[in-house]
Amino acid sequence: MKMIVGLGNPGPKYLMTRHNVGFMVIDSLAHRWNCPSDFREDKKALVTKIKTSNEDVLLVKPQTFMNLSGESVQPLMNFYKIELKDLLVVHDEVDLPFGQLRFVINRGHGGQNGVRNIHDRLGSKAYGRLRLGVGSPPHPDFSVADYVLQAYSKSEQSHLPDVLSLACEAIEFFVDNGLEKTANEYNSAKGTINL
């Protein structure tokens, strides 16, 4: 079984913010896989389990707020006996431009507090992550925290469906082929939307 975790913050206030792009990807996958309303509460998260052609997949949206995401990820992994190689965490990344995605494994948290908490709770960073570029603040004095908690710009919103579609396509490839092949396939021009 694979476990795909989208990071974000619960509640309507955060719904369309850059920090919630992980939740947006999970919702897009659920819609794409015809289970958009099948989420239930489990281990401080909203989860739904689906069967693809080759694999059972658990879609997860932690409801702990971003910085405590590990409090739901670790218990779910234990309960469902998920191996690190079968975990993929999807999150916003300010070090990548909007429209670009990159897969990584065994890397530091890079200041992303949700990822930091997952590292701490799992005692490992040897799992896959899908970093979705949200761009960086417009000037150095602009707080990163304030930036990621803002809604996407109108221009970004017009391209967001394409970004989410690309992320879903890449995750489907991961489910069938694993992280190494997926990184080789998408950590290239293929992993970037032309804006």
The span from the CA of 185 to the CA of 141, in Å, is 36
Residue in 19, 109, 119, 139 annotated catalytic:
19
Crossing angle of helices 21-32 and 154-177, rounded to 10°: 60
Residue labelled with tokens 């990344």: 93
DSSP string, 137-169: -SSTTS-HHHHHTSBPPHHHHHHHHHHHHHHHH
Strand order in the sheet with 40-42: 40-42, 45-51, 56-62, 2-6, 87-93, 128-133, 101-105
Tell me the pairing of strands 45-51 and 128-133.
Answer: unpaired
How many helices and strands (H and E) does the chain possess?
A: 6, 7
Name the CA dihedral angle for 113, 178, 80, 4, rounded to a multiple of 10 degrees.
40
Neighbours of 30 (CB within 10 A): 21
Q: Quick check: 10 and 63 in contact, CB under 8 A? A: yes
Q: Is 19 a catalytic residue?
A: yes
Residues annotated as catalytic are: 19
